[in-house]
Every structure is written in structure tokens, then in C-alpha cells.
């Protein structure tokens, strides 16, 4: 692993945010600002992805990659559910399964920044893959809870119409796909009019957002006492294991190294935004102090600081170019 993979401003700002908590600094990112930054990043990557897609179009490799994204988001929750059931209740296992089956948009963005620093491009179509991976994992997690929960009272009260609406039209998915479509339809002229806001200042906003995530991650680490050794170990071991399977699948499809890294990062990440919002209403028996800190305070920092460079080296070892 190259030290320059870590010593770049967005990652260093993440460290700075974590350090702020440990030294008890008063630095704070207002919640409204954090929400704006999240929306901005989704807007920017969606618009850029749509613009790139307008130039390249969709080929068979792209379509296979999108199918692989949906497959991963469906299969991973099933596998991880039974792993979590070794130690946890059905509700907690289902919520954690959905967490690890879904994705972290910020990890995806950090991986894009990593590739940019190396001068490597990735296809805009992979942004659609990210959007496609949020919903299936949430739905599978809720179905698993419904099927295996002996107390059917809570499961039978699931409002499926509301759930499906949130899963497919929730804020992050809606904004991401909407920006992707706008970028696709507007082409070069649309991109030229938005390039400064969506691209030139992107890394500055990303750095500020990762400062906020560093603060939030460090604070959530205090809740890990409820997780125990089993879950903390899973949060660190699962991403590299998943990355190997993702890399082999990417090799079979024939992706280039940029697309393969982005796909691998999606498969190896965990959701701390979309899934918690869905679990709060759909599986209220699940303990948020387990699935939120696991994603935000264990797997997210691991992926940003260690995982992304590690997955890149795995891909190079497998002969990706």
C-alpha cells in the first residue's frame, strides 16, 4: 500500500474529524450543512455519471455489471443473515444483513477520488449500479425478518406499499438516478453548464463532508460496546472477503481496473444512511446501536483508510489493467 493513497486531502480530513472527537475539540458541522453536502455529492456523481454515459452508451459488459450489482445486493443479505444468526436475534440479524447488502455512497465517492488521484477513469454506468444496490438489500432484509421471526405480529404489520416507495424513491436513490438521467439527456451542453459546480469544486466539498463523517464515526465508536468481538471482527473481515468474490466476478465480466474497483467497493461497503432509515420503521425490534455503529464506525473507516487501496492491489494482482 502506497502512503500517498492515504496522504490526500479527503482522507486526511477524515482523520482530522476523528481526532477532533478524541481531543474534545468544539469543531462541529451543522446537521443542515451535512445534509446539503450529502445531497451535493449524490447530485455531482449522478450528473457526471450521466454525462459519461451519454458519451459511451451501454454495452453488454455494462449490462452484466448492473446485473451483478443487483445479484450481489440480493445474495449478500441472505448469506450474512445466517452468519449473524449464530449470535443474534432474527430482527438484529435481518437489519445487519440489509446493512451489509446495501452500499455506502460516500465510500464509493472516496474510491472515485482514489482513482482520480491515480489518473484512472471509471465508467459512468457504474453510478446506476450503485443506485440499484440500495433497494434490493433493504427488501431482502425485511423479507428475512418476516419469514424467520416467530413473533409475526410486528412482521405482519409491515406496510409494503410504503416500504417499496421508500426503497425505490427514497431521497438518495431518487436524487442519484434523477441526476444520472439529467446528465444523460443533457449531454455535453448540460455538463458544460454545470461542470464547475459538479466537478471543479467536488473534492473540496468531499473533504469537508469526510471531516463530518470522521467526527460522526469517532462518536459512534463509543457505542460499539454493545457489538462485541464477533460483530467488530465481522465488520473488518467481511469487506476483504467480499472484495475477492467481487474481483473474481469482475474478472469474469471483463471489467477494466477502474470499473472493477468501483464495483468491488460497492460490494464490500455497508449502508449507514438508507438502511437505518428503513429499519427504523420496518424492523423496529432491531437495535440501532448495533447496525449503525457497525457500518459507520467499523466498516466505513476500514474501507476508506485501508480497504480501497487494498482492493486496488488485489485487482492488480489478478491482472486487471
pLDDT at 167 (0 to 100) = 59
> Which of 131, 126, 82, 146 has the alpha carbon at shortest distance from 271?
131
> Contact 235/303 with Cβ under 8 angstroms?
no
In order of start, what are the domains of the chain with their CATH numbers? 33-317 (1.20.1530.20)
pLDDT tier for residue 92 given thresholds of 50, 70 and 90: very high
Q: Is the pLDDT of residue 2 over 70?
A: no
pLDDT at 48 (0 to 100) = 86
pLDDT at 64 (0 to 100) = 92
Angstrom CA distances, 307 to 33, 105, 259, 264, 299, stand at 28, 15, 16, 10, 9
Distance CA 266, CA 268 (A): 5
pLDDT tier for residue 255 given thresholds of 50, 70 and 90: very high
The tens digit of pLDDT for each residue in 20-71 reads 998 989 888 888 888 888 888 888 888 888 888 887 777 888 899 989 999 9
Coil, strand or helix at 244: helix
Distance CA 194, CA 187 (A): 11
> Which of 46, 320, 12, 292 has the alpha carbon at shortest distance from 178?
46
Q: Is the pLDDT of residue 263 over 90?
A: yes
Helix crossing, 202-220 with 31-56: angle to 10°? 130
DSSP 306: I
The tens digit of pLDDT for each residue in 166-204 reads 556 666 677 878 888 898 899 888 888 988 888 888 888
Torsions phi, psi for 175 (to 5 deg): -65, -45
pLDDT at 37 (0 to 100) = 87
The tens digit of pLDDT for each residue in 134-175 reads 788 888 988 898 888 776 555 455 566 666 665 566 666 778
pLDDT at 314 (0 to 100) = 95
The C-alpha angle 47, 48, 51, rounded to 5 degrees, equals 85
pTM of the predicted protein model:
0.84
Task: Look up residue 124 and give its three cell numbers.
Answer: 459512468
Task: Look up residue 172 and give its three cell numbers.
Answer: 438518495
Coil, strand or helix at 28: coil
> Contact 268/102 with Cβ under 8 angstroms?
no
Burial (CB count within 10 angstroms: exposed 0-12, middle 13-18, buried 19+), residue 244: middle
Q: What is the mean pLDDT of residues 115-123?
A: 88
pLDDT tier for residue 130 given thresholds of 50, 70 and 90: confident
Amino acid at each position: 500500500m502506497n502512503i500517498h493513497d492515504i496522504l490526500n486531502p479527503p482522507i486526511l480530513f477524515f482523520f482530522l474529524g476523528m481526532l477532533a472527537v478524541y481531543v474534545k475539540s468544539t469543531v462541529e458541522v451543522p446537521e443542515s450543512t451535512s445534509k446539503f453536502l450529502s445531497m451535493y455529492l449524490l447530485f455531482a456523481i449522478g450528473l457526471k455519471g450521466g454525462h459519461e454515459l451519454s458519451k459511451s452508451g451501454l454495452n453488454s459488459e455494462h449490462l452484466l455489471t448492473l446485473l451483478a450489482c443487483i445479484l450481489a445486493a440480493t445474495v449478500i443479505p441472505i448469506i450474512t443473515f445466517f452468519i449473524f444468526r449464530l449470535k443474534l436475534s432474527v430482527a438484529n440479524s435481518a437489519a445487519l444483513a440489509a446493512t451489509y447488502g446495501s452500499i455506502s455512497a460516500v465510500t464509493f465517492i472516496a474510491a472515485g477520488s482514489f482513482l482520480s488521484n491515480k489518473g484512472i477513469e471509471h465508467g459512468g454506468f457504474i453510478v446506476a449500479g450503485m443506485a440499484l444496490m440500495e433497494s434490493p438489500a433493504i427488501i431482502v432484509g425485511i423479507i428475512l425478518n418476516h419469514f424467520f421471526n416467530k413473533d409475526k405480529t410486528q412482521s405482519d404489520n409491515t406496510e409494503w406499499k410504503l416500504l417499496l416507495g421508500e426503497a425505490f424513491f427514497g431521497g438518495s436513490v431518487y436524487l442519484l438516478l434523477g441526476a444520472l438521467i439529467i446528465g444523460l439527456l443533457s449531454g455535453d451542453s448540460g455538463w458544460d453548464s454545470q461542470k464547475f459546480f459538479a466537478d471543479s469544486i467536488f473534492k473540496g466539498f468531499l473533504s469537508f463532508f469526510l471531516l463530518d463523517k470522521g467526527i460522526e464515526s469517532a462518536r459512534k465508536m463509543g457505542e460499539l460496546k454493545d457489538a462485541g468481538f464477533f460483530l467488530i471482527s465481522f465488520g473488518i473481515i467481511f469487506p476483504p472477503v467480499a472484495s475477492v468474490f467481487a474481483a473474481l466476478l469482475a474478472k469474469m465480466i471483463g471489467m477494466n481496473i477502474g470499473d472493477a474497483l468501483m464495483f468491488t467497493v460497492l460490494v464490500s461497503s455497508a449502508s449507514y444512511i438508507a438502511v437505518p432509515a428503513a429499519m427504523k420503521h420496518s424492523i423496529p425490534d432491531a437495535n440501532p446501536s448495533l447496525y449503525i455503529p457497525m457500518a459507520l464506525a467499523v466498516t466505513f473507516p476500514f474501507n476508506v483508510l485501508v480497504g480501497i487501496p487494498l482492493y486496488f492491489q488485489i485487482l492488480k494482482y489478478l491482472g486487471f489493467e
